[in-house]
Structure 1
Amino acid sequence: MDLTRKSILTAGCAVVLTSGLIILLVLLTAFPMSYFSISVQKLILILVFIFPLIVAMPLIIRKLNRLPDEKKILGWTFMGLGAEFILFPFMLLIYIFNFSSVFSIIIGGTIIIFSIIFGLSAGLISIITGITLVNRKER
């Protein structure tokens, strides 16, 4: 693989998308993982970190490298990040059901409401930016 501007951009975008996937997987598996033993918890954490790096990152690099120009690569990356921004607040909803006191429910609810407000708006802005970059015609 030649070290061109496009390949460096593709690798950087794949790292960003994979790290977002790791964050979402950690949030998704953290709460139910407490029911398992310590050895199983360690195995799940290793799988959560290794699986996206071994499986998802090369797949994302291959898919992004097939795109013809850098604007389309950035556009699809923005759309992927927008989807991650939109999913992030809903992953936090798992934790709100674990709170036991009224004060922690109020604090947790406030954090979730703000993350929904800002996460949805940031996600939609990112998706619209990505669609604009993908659909932009070359002059």
Structure 2
Amino acid sequence: FLMIFMSSVGIYHFEHQAQPEQFRSVFHSLWWAVVTLTSVGYGDVYPVTTGGRVFTGLLLPIGLGVITVPSGLIAYGLTQAHRNDSDHRHGHARAPQPQTAELSLRSGLPPGSDAEPPVWAPVACAFDPVRTPRF
């Protein structure tokens, strides 16, 4: 939330003189910051000054790394946890995904095995937050 607030202060500094109706205050600039940093990008409010455009260009990659990507990873983790909980609650065992089965076979594990693959095996769970190795 601090990043969103600081972004709204920055864009207000650059754009208030050029667009006083769009960037009336730091509070009004929060809309631009939230829409921009979450990568929604409605296009209703955008910078027109060189300083505002440079500020936005520098801010976007940071916003993607700090807000958008972690939000997607959290959503993925919650979805997987819900699916696993639902499967266990209803007694359904899901068939392994083709990619997982292929990588399990290459690692020497039978498809659907709950055992951890050896360290040298291709990473079959790079996007699985439960099994992603911690360094």
Fold equivalence (TM over 0.5): no
Larger Rg: 2
* Higher relative contact order, structure no. (Cα contacts within 8 Å, ≥ 6 residues apart): 1
- Higher helix proportion, which one? 1
Q: TM-score, normalised by structure 2?
A: 0.29
